[in-house]
Structure 1
Amino acid sequence: MTEITVTAPRQRPIPSQRQDFLHFEEITTRWNDNDVYGHMNNAVHYGLFDSVVNRWLHDVGKQDPRSSDLIGLVVHSSCDYHAELAYPDKITAGLRIDSLGRTSVTYRVALFAENRETSAAEGIFVHVYVDRAARKPASIADGLRAAMTRLQRSEVTTP
Structure 2
Amino acid sequence: MTERSTREDYRAFRTIPTRWMDNDVYGHVNNVVHYALFDTALTGWLIEQGVLDVRAGRQIGLVVETGCRYFDPIAFPDVVTAGICVARIGTSSVRYEVALFRNDEEEAISEGHFVHVFVDRESRRPTPLSEALRAALTTISVTAD
**Number of equivalenced pairs:** 144
| Structure 2 residue 27 is matched with structure 1 residue 51 | no
CA separation in 1, counterparts of 2:10 and 2:50? 17
TM-score, reference length from structure 2: 0.94
Among residues 105, 126, 135, which one is paired with 2:124 in the alignment? 135
Contact 1:30-1:88 within 8 A present in 2 as well: yes
- Counterpart contact for 2:85–2:141, Cα < 8 Å: yes
Check conservation: 2:14, 2:45, Cα contact below 8 A.
Answer: no
- Tell me which amino acid in the other structure corresponds to 1:111: L
Provide runs of 4+ in structure 1 moved above 4 Å.
none
Consecutive unaligned residues of structure 1, counting only runs of 5 or more, are: 1-11
Amino acid at match of 1:99: R
RMSD: 1.4
TM-score of the superposed pair, with normalisation by structure 1: 0.86
Name which one, 1 or 2, has greater alpha-carbon Rg: 1
Query: Equivalent pairs: percent with the same residue?
Result: 46
Which residue number corresponds to residue 141 of structure 2? 152
CA distance in 1, matches of 2:143, 2:7: 15
Aligned to 1:101: 90
Report the Cα distance in structure 2 between the residues aligned to 1:13 and 1:128, rounded to whole angstroms: 29
